[in-house]
Structure 1
Amino acid sequence: MGKQRGRVRTHSRRQLLRTAGIGLTGVLGGCLSSAQSPTPVSILSAGSLQHALENGLKPTVDVPLRVESHGSATVARLIDEGQRDPDIVAVADTALFDAPISPPWYSAFASNAVVLAYNPDTSGGQRMEEAGTERWYVPLVEDTVSLGRTDPDQDPLGYRTLFVLELASRYYDDAPDLRAVVPTREQRYPETGLLSQFETGSIDAAFAYRNMAVERGYDYVSLPNRIDLSDRRYADEWYSTTAYELPSGQRVEGGPIEYGAAIRTDTESVRSVFEQLTTGAYLDETGFVLGDRFPRFEGDVPGTVPTATQEE
């Protein structure tokens, strides 16, 4: 019951988009490959996308990619302060497209779920496995498991972990105030290196996105969907009752997880990569949560964006 390895199947609309996208990408890729030394397309992305982009997206496009990944709040800050100017930006929370960066349009292209990944080879990880979906918080409260999480000031996974803990306190009848009891500063690790702490023996378990556990083959405890931030049915009356204030003063409310991407350099090669990034099969294969609501466009989508990916 505690572990779940199944993947959500995509719906027919996304399959149609993907089919059209592959054809278009092939045409564009063929044109680009005929040129000498095509200019690399740069992507500044959320840390939870790094593995998927490097190992899933790169092999599907004919354009060289330069991928740089950080926590999404850091990604937004780097662009806002002029320290980075990528061709494509992809973040793990579309709220960051409201502030501090405000693209004229973007595509919401995938969801995710917060899970508790664990190392079954440690005594703490074994306790987490035994606790399962209904009692996972007990070893954390008893401090018998060394826990890893990310910094809420640097990326959405960090503040979503706090949302999960707060919602769990209300969901389970005998749970204490988990948001107050569980977090300590010593638990914080960069998102891009969080699960690698299993290899070093630094932690027994970590709050992570489902795709992070799936693509690395780690065991994980699935949380109820009223807690894991994956289900839109609980958006307004449940998830949104949690919040976190970033150092910038921006208040981020709890909500269903949505990844968003925007084009910053409008060229044929960038549009080709963007389409595969937002509709490619690699998303399903690496454990992201998809569905017929993706991709969804917000803002004034230019006519240069392939019509196969535009909301009808």
Structure 2
Amino acid sequence: MRRILIIIMFVLFSLYVFSDILIFYASSLTPPLKEIAKKYEEKYGEKVLLEPSASIVVARKITELGRRADIALFADKNLFFKMVYPELTDWQIVFASNSIVLAYTKNSRYSEKINSSNFFEILLGDKDVRFGYPDPRIAPLGYRTHFLFQLAERYYNVPGLYEKFKEAKNIYLSRKSIDSLSLLEVGELDYVFEYRSVAKVHNLKYVEFPEEINLSSPEFEDSYEKTVISINNKVIMGSTIAYTVWIPKSSKNKEGAIRFLGFFLSEGLKILEKDGFILIKPYIEGNEEKVPEKIKAMIENAGS
């Protein structure tokens, strides 16, 4: 009997330690996360389940639907304090940035002449040109596209540009940052606002914008913070793009989550950089006293 109990306890322990790792994450991280998860599975023999969605939906799955995840990743660090801290987690790790670009194909209308100085004239000057971006009510790239037009109005000194953008009828709103890419690739859309990393891994042509308007540079944070949008009676202010990762308190597999996080902060960051992300020296936001010592050590060694 004692031997049977030992076997049962060992099996239960194995299931606990080596159970699947469920990750809710911002969809713009899909290409590198797939590669990271594959390499992690090969090294540790643990199954990683990836579930992409818009960042705000990532939080709602846990807050409103009561679902459990072992790791969550946002494309906007500001969502942490607005939606999940301190009820769902005590800390997050900021690890990367990105920039907004305008992606297109060789078949896009005016593709031979569009650039960072005339993009708004082409997008808003011809009703037959169709362009898209994610719904700002659920995706950071959506409200960041609004910020980009506000910044462009000032940078290029074009009064009324942002209002013209808001009133445009030739726009397609997608559910998350990568949803409109298929429509772009089959010619249903001419242009989509995307993150540079996504455009790069999908081998798309793209217009790069100056740092003054592409939300990638901390140098222009003061300017970014002067942009604003109201969504569902909530005010969202602009800021430099920043990706974060955190472990929910409700995680069923915290040991696996910590193990994956260690891999993510070493091998994973190299893959992110290869795919076009702008790496940030990882740092903690929230209650540092609640961060396990293992994770603090990982952050010290991140990227090595």
Question: TM tier, shorter chain?
Answer: 0.7 to 0.9
Matching of residue 138 in structure 1 with residue 121 in structure 2 = yes
Instruction: Indicate the larger mover: 134-143 or 251-260.
Output: 134-143
Once residues 112 and 210 of structure 2 are traced to their aligned partners in structure 1, the CA distance between those partners, rounded to angstroms, is 15
Quote the residue 1:283 is aligned against.
272
Quote the residue 1:164 is aligned against.
148
Matching of residue 189 in structure 1 with residue 181 in structure 2 = no
- 1:277: Cα distance to partner? 2.8
In the alignment of these two chains, the number of paired residues is 270
* Contact 2:132–2:192 (8 Å) recurs in 1: yes
Quote the residue 2:5 is aligned against.
none
Q: Which amino acid aligns with 1:273?
A: F
- 1:83: Cα distance to partner? 3.5
Matching of residue 69 in structure 1 with residue 52 in structure 2 = yes
Gaps of 5+ in 1: 1-34
- 1:198: Cα distance to partner? 1.6
Q: Which amino acid aligns with 1:295?
A: P
Once the two structures are superposed, residues 73-112 of structure 1 have per-residue CA deviations (whole angstroms, 9 ceiling, x without a partner) of 1112222114421100101001110011112111001000
- 1:60: Cα distance to partner? 3.6
* Contact 2:105–2:185 (8 Å) recurs in 1: no
Structure 1 residues 95, 198: CA separation in 2 closer, same or farther (over 3 Å shift)? same
Once residues 19 and 53 of structure 2 are traced to their aligned partners in structure 1, the CA distance between those partners, rounded to angstroms, is 23
- 1:231: Cα distance to partner? 0.5
Quote the residue 1:214 is aligned against.
200
Stretches of 4+ moved more than 6 A in 1? none
Query: Rg bigger for which structure?
Result: 2
Once residues 258 and 217 of structure 2 are traced to their aligned partners in structure 1, the CA distance between those partners, rounded to angstroms, is 30
- 1:267: Cα distance to partner? 2.7
- 1:128: Cα distance to partner? 4.0
Give the secondary-structure state (helix, strand or coil) at the position aligned to 1:108: strand
* Contact 1:99–1:250 (8 Å) recurs in 2: no
Q: Which amino acid aligns with 1:200?
A: V
* Contact 1:297–1:310 (8 Å) recurs in 2: no
Identity over aligned pairs, percent: 31
* Contact 2:200–2:276 (8 Å) recurs in 1: yes
User: Aligned-pair RMSD on alpha carbons?
Assistant: 2.2
Gaps of 5+ in 2: 1-13
The structure with the greater share of residues assigned to strand is: 2
Alignment of 1:186-265 (within 5 A): 186-191=171-176, 192-236=178-222, 238-247=223-232, 249-264=233-248, 265=251
Quote the residue 1:151 is aligned against.
135
Once residues 163 and 181 of structure 2 are traced to their aligned partners in structure 1, the CA distance between those partners, rounded to angstroms, is 24
Quote the residue 1:109 is aligned against.
95
Once residues 255 and 90 of structure 1 are traced to their aligned partners in structure 2, the CA distance between those partners, rounded to angstroms, is 18
Q: Which amino acid aligns with 1:287?
A: G
Quote the residue 2:11 is aligned against.
none
Instruction: Indicate the larger mover: 45-54 or 262-271.
Output: 262-271
Once residues 225 and 94 of structure 1 are traced to their aligned partners in structure 2, the CA distance between those partners, rounded to angstroms, is 19
* Contact 1:128–1:145 (8 Å) recurs in 2: no
Give the secondary-structure state (helix, strand or coil) at the position aligned to 1:284: helix
Q: TM-score, normalised by structure 1?
A: 0.80
- 1:246: Cα distance to partner? 3.1
* Contact 2:228–2:237 (8 Å) recurs in 1: yes
Once residues 76 and 133 of structure 2 are traced to their aligned partners in structure 1, the CA distance between those partners, rounded to angstroms, is 17
Once the two structures are superposed, residues 246-305 of structure 1 have per-residue CA deviations (whole angstroms, 9 ceiling, x without a partner) of 32x4422101000011012363321121123344211011111114xx211112222242
- 1:40: Cα distance to partner? 1.1
Structure 1 residues 297, 200: CA separation in 2 closer, same or farther (over 3 Å shift)? same
* Contact 1:131–1:138 (8 Å) recurs in 2: no
Give the secondary-structure state (helix, strand or coil) at the position aligned to 1:130: coil
* Contact 1:111–1:230 (8 Å) recurs in 2: yes
